[in-house]
Structure 1
Amino acid sequence: MTAMQTRPQEQAKPSKKTSLIAEPGLMRTVALDAGNYDLKYWDGIGNPSAVRSMRYQLPTGRDPVKFNDSSPLVELADGTRYHFGMQAYKYRRQQQTVVENKVDLSKLHLYACLEPGPLEDGLCRLSVNLHVSTPEPERHRKLIKEQLLGYHEFTRNEIPFEVTVERVEVEREGLGAYRTAQRMGLIPDTGYTIVIDLGGGTWLSRLIDSDGEVIDENVMDRGGSYDLATSISFDKRLANALGTTADPGIIMDGFRSGHVYADTGHGWEDWLDEYLDSWYKNIFRMVKSQYTPFMPRVTRFLVTGGSSHLIADRFAGFPLFAVMPDPQFANVRGLYPVEELQLCMTTN
C-alpha cells in the first residue's frame, strides 16, 4: 500500500473543503467540462481540477500502478476497471479521448471527476446537480442526459460511491468562458464578441451580441492542437532524434512543458513556428470568412481553450484581442451557476 493508494477507512475524516461542499445525502453542484485533452471539473470552492483525458482498461489479473485524484482508478459495478490521467502512460495501448467520441464517454468521465464527500461506513453517497458543456448541445443533449441522469454505483480510488444525478444542464461549449470573461471585465458593453475556443481535438467559434445571445457559430470536429501535434509527429527531425515514431498525445503534453518530448530531452521548439503559424492562421482565416458581414461591429475577439496558450503572444498589443487568463479552466468556471458560486464564496 502506497501513500497514493489510501484505503477508504483512512479517508473517513472529511477535509474542511469537503465539509463545505456536501454532507451525506445533501446536494452537490458540479461543473464538468470534459475536453479532449483534459477533464475539467469544479464544485465552486477553491480552484478547478483536471484529469488528463486518457485511460487504460486494466485486464482482470493486472494490478494498477499508483492512483490519486489527478489519475483516478475507476471500477464499474461489473468489475471493469479504468485508470485515468497521466498514470495511464505507464501501461501499453492507453486510449485517448481525442481520437474518440467524448459524448459516448460521458458516464466514465463523470466517475473520474467526482471526488468524495464525507464518508459513511466507508461509502460516499452523493446527490448531484451537473452543469456540462458540449460543442453541439442540440445534437448531443439527449444522449448526455440519458447517460448521466439517475442512479450510479462505482468505485473511485477504492472508495465505493452511490450517486444520484438529479439534474443535468447542457450548454454550448465556449459560453462558460464568455461568462468568465464578462466577470473579469474583458467583454465590452457594446458590439459583438467572437469567442474562439481552441481545444485539443476540436476548435469552435461563437458570435455573441451584447445581450449574450449566440447569433452565429461554427464547430469544427477536427483542427485542434491534436492536428498540430500530429503534423509535428511526422517531422523527421523529431523522429530521427527519438529513433522511433512520435506519439501526438505526448507531443500535446509537451506543448505545456517546454516543447520537449516527455523526458527524452528532444523537442521541437526551434522549428515549432513552421507548423504553428499555418495552424492558427488557417483557423483565423476561417473565422474571418464565416463572420465577414459582422466584422464592422466586432469589438472583441476572445481567445480561450486549453490550446490558446500556444498563440497567446501573437495578440500582445492588439486591443481588439483578449486571451483568457488560465484559459484551460475558463469554460468550467463559467459553467458553474453564479448564484451558487456566490453562496459558496459567502459560506467559505
Structure 2
Amino acid sequence: MNGLGTRSRPRKETTGTVSHRTIALDAGNYDLKFWNGAGHPRAIRSMRFQLPQGRDPVRYSDQSPLIELPDGTRYHFGTQAYKYRRQQQTVVENKVDLARLHLYACLESERDEEMSQFPLHVYASTPDPSRNADTIKSQLLGMHEFKRNGIPFRITVEHVEVEREGIGAYRYAQQLGLIPDSGYTIVVDIGGGTWLTRLIDAEGDVIDENVMDRGGSYELATAISFDRRLIDALGTTVDPAIVMDGFKSGHTYADTGLSWSLWLEEYLDPWFKGIFQTIKAQYTPYMPRVTRFLVTGGSSHLIAERLAGRKLFAVMPDPQFANVRGLYPVAEGWQLCMTTK
C-alpha cells in the first residue's frame, strides 16, 4: 500500500490561548467515537434515520442527536433510530461519504449556548488514508451551518489531519507503557465492519500493513443471524445489527431474552482463527522481530479471553476508545513524560 514508512510521532498542539476547539473523531462502522481531550471519550451508535418532512422525531439527546441541514433535511443518529421503522446502518455503507454528517453528530454544544460558533480542528482516522484522506478533507474543511438538537451551529473547520486507523491506539499504548522499546509491534484493530493490521518498528515507522474491508464483527454477526436456532426461536429473520448490539450485552437479541451464548463458540472460533491465520501468513518473515501484538478496536473484547496470559499479546484497556484517545494531539508537557517499557 502507499505511504509506508510514515512515522507515527505524537503530535504537538501549542499551549497558551486557544482560539479554536479541537475534536478527535474515530467514525467507526459500529459507533462514532469522539473526544475533546477532557473527561471520557463519547460514542454514538453509527446508524441514522432520515426523517420525512411530515414526520416528528422521537426524543433526541447528545447520545442520539437530531441533525438538521439548511435545506431542512433531518437525520436522527444513534440508538433512537431503532424506534423508526427502518434505519440506515453505516456498516453496510461507505462511511467515507458520511464524514460531514458524522462530524455534525459528534459536535456537542457548550452549556447554555444559543448559537455554537467557533473555528475547529479535526483529527480523524480512516483505514486507508492514501485512498480516502483527500475525500474526507474536502468534506470537512471550510464553513458549515446546521442544527444539532435544535441548536444552530456555524463552524469553520480550519485544519484536518487524517491518520491511519489503529495508529492512534499505538500512540496511546505508548503513553501507557505497553510498547516494548525494541522490536516490532503488530497492531491488530478489530472493528465492526473491518479489521486491519499495522507492522510498526521501534522508531514508529509503519513498515507493512493490511486492511480487510470486511471480516469485522459484522461478518460474525451475519453468520450468527443465519443460524436456524435463533431464527426459529425468534420466528422471523434476524438483524445482524441487533446481534452486534448483543455482543456487548450478554449475547442476547434485543429485549427478547433469546441468546446465542451457548453456541457462540461454533462461530467465534473460526472467525478468530481466520483473522490470526491471515496475520501469520502476511508477517511470517518479520515474526522473529515481533515483540508485541497490540490488540485493539471495538470488537476486540470478543477475543480478549483467548489472548489472556499470552506473553506477546497486550489487549488495550477500554479498546473501543483507544484509537480516538491517541488521535487527540498530545500536549508538549505530556509528550515529554511519555515512557515505554
**TM-score, normalised by the number of residues in structure 2:** 0.92
Q: Which amino acid aligns with 1:72?
A: P
Partner of residue 85, structure 1? 78
Q: Which amino acid aligns with 1:324?
A: M
Partner of residue 133, structure 2? 141
Residue from 316, 324, 329 that aligns with 1:337: 329
Q: Which amino acid aligns with 2:215?
A: G
Q: CA RMSD in A?
A: 1.4
User: Contact 1:44/1:341 (CA < 8 Å) preserved in 2?
Assistant: no
Partner of residue 31, structure 2? 38
CA distance, structure 1, for counterparts of residue 229 and residue 139 of structure 2: 44
User: Contact 1:118/1:124 (CA < 8 Å) preserved in 2?
Assistant: no
Q: 1:342 to 1:296 in 2, by over 3 A?
A: closer
Alignment of 1:253-264 (within 5 A): 253-264=245-256
Alignment of 1:122-141 (within 5 A): 122-141=114-133
Identical-residue share of aligned pairs (%): 71
Q: CA deviation at 1:26?
A: 3.1
CA distance, structure 1, for counterparts of residue 258 and residue 19 of structure 2: 50
Number of aligned pairs?
319
Partner of residue 12, structure 1? none
Q: CA deviation at 1:341?
A: 8.9
Q: CA deviation at 1:229?
A: 0.1
Q: Which amino acid aligns with 1:97?
A: T
Q: Which amino acid aligns with 2:96?
A: V
Alignment of 1:164-313 (within 5 A): 164-313=156-305
Q: Which amino acid aligns with 2:146?
A: F
Mapped pair 1:49 → 2:73:
no
Structure with more relative contact order (C-alpha pairs < 8 Å, separation 6 or more): 2
Residues 153-191 of structure 1: per-residue CA shift (max 9 Å, x gap): 000001000010000000000000001111111110000
Residues 276-313 of structure 1: per-residue CA shift (max 9 Å, x gap): 00001100000000001000000000100000000000
CA distance, structure 1, for counterparts of residue 102 and residue 131 of structure 2: 19
Q: CA deviation at 1:117?
A: 2.5
**TM-score, normalised by the number of residues in structure 1:** 0.90
- Which 4+ stretches in 1 moved above 6 angstroms? none
Q: Point out where structure 1 has 5 or more consecutive residues left out of the alignment.
A: 1-22, 344-348
CA distance, structure 2, for counterparts of residue 341 and residue 164 of structure 1: 28
Q: CA deviation at 1:342?
A: 4.7
Q: CA deviation at 1:66?
A: 0.6
Q: CA deviation at 1:131?
A: 0.2
Q: Point out where structure 2 has 5 or more consecutive residues left out of the alignment.
A: 1-16, 336-341
CA distance, structure 1, for counterparts of residue 293 and residue 202 of structure 2: 13
Q: Which amino acid aligns with 1:35?
A: G
